[in-house]
Amino acid sequence: MNDPRQDVAEAAWNGFALRVSARLVRRYAWQTASIELAIDDKVVLETGGVPKFVGVMTQAFEVQGSRHVAKIQWGRGLLKSFPYQVSIDNVEVRRGRVEIGNWWVGLWPWIPFAAFVLWASIGR
């Protein structure tokens, strides 16, 4: 089940709503994304903007008194989205692509470069 907002992927796990979202973070000049995994609107895993094209992160969490381990793997993405896989207790729960909510912020380093190229081509 997908949220109408393209930057959120939703699924169900043991009767709980599971949500995966991503956004660019200030760290590394807005060139890295933080991925959040939430269960019933409680964030149980957040990558925090790890500077890796491909990676994996695990985090233990508790829900209704039971301890579980969430794992998220992500792959190389393109501009607006990237592939991911979520497993809980070593069982795959969701696989897909998630769009980075504020992907356009990552374009800022290219603006001065484009301006310079434009200036160089017009100024000659």
Per-residue pLDDT at 89: 96
Expressed as residue numbers, the domain containing 76 is 8-122
Give the tens place of pLDDT for each residue, 11-40. 889 899 999 998 888 777 777 888 899 999
20 part of a folded domain: yes
Per-residue pLDDT at 95: 92
pTM for the complete prediction?
0.75
Mark out the alpha helices in 1-124 (DSSP H runs): 27-30, 110-122
3 part of a folded domain: no
2 part of a folded domain: no
Number of structural domains in the chain:
1
35 part of a folded domain: yes
Check the CA dihedral 117-118-119-122 and report its sign: positive
101 part of a folded domain: yes
Contact 20, 9 (CB under 8 A): yes
Per-residue pLDDT at 1: 38
18 part of a folded domain: yes
In the structure, what pLDDT confidence band is assigned to residue 7 with cuts at 50, 70 and 90?
low
22 part of a folded domain: yes
